[in-house]
Amino acid sequence: MIDLNSSLFIQAALFIFLMIVLNKIFFQPFLRFLDERHNKISGDEQEAAKLQEGAERHRLKFEEGLNKGQLQALTEKERIRDEGLQEGKRLVDTTHQEVDKEIPTIKNQIAQESQQVLAELKRRQGAMAKEIAEKILGRGL
């Protein structure tokens, strides 16, 4: 059988006293520490989410600027290419015009030179015929 005496009340009082003292000294500071840690982690997670969101906005802005720059570069490239083609066409047209202007002059010059050569050949025809005959016969005429 269990004997209940005053030591039970003393032990109960000591137990309650220790619970109160330990609660004040150890448990409450530990629970406060856990709450602070939880709050700090939550705050850090929120800040990380904000930073992630800001980084994503910057990335999108950068890509938009990059795409805009590429579009401008392509537009400029097309403009320069078109200008080059137009300048080349203009040069070719100018050259064709100059050649077309010179063709009649060159044809006239060739015709004149042809007439001069024919006249010279006709003038030397007799002498050349005599020379050829001498070579064929192997003696003078």
Q: Is residue 114 part of a domain?
A: no
Residue 81 reports pLDDT greater than 90: yes
The total number of structural domains in the chain stands at: 1
Residue 128 lies in a domain: no
Please write the tens of the pLDDT for every residue from 82-105: 999 999 999 999 999 999 888 989
Task: Confirm whether 125 is domain-assigned.
Answer: no
* Model confidence at 4: pLDDT above 80: no
Is 111 inside a domain boundary? no
Residue 3 is assigned to a structural domain of this protein? no
By residue range, what is the domain housing residue 88? 11-104
| Residue 36 included in any domain | yes
**Pairwise CA distance, residues 114 & 103, whole Å:** 16
Q: How far is CA 27 from CA 17, 24, 33, 130, in A?
A: 14, 6, 10, 143
Residue 82 has a pLDDT of: 94
Q: How far apart are CA 108 and CA 101, in angstroms?
A: 12
More confident site: 30 or 130: 30
Between 25 and 2, whose confidence is greater?
25
> Would you place residue 1 in the very low, low, confident or very high pLDDT band (cuts 50, 70, 90)?
low
Tens digit of each residue's pLDDT (9 = 90 or more) over 112-124 = 999 998 888 888 8
Residue 68 lies in a domain: yes
Average pLDDT over the chain, rounded to whole?
Answer: 90
**Which residue type occupies 3?**
D
Query: 117 lies in a domain?
Result: no
Which pLDDT does position 35 carry in this prediction? 96
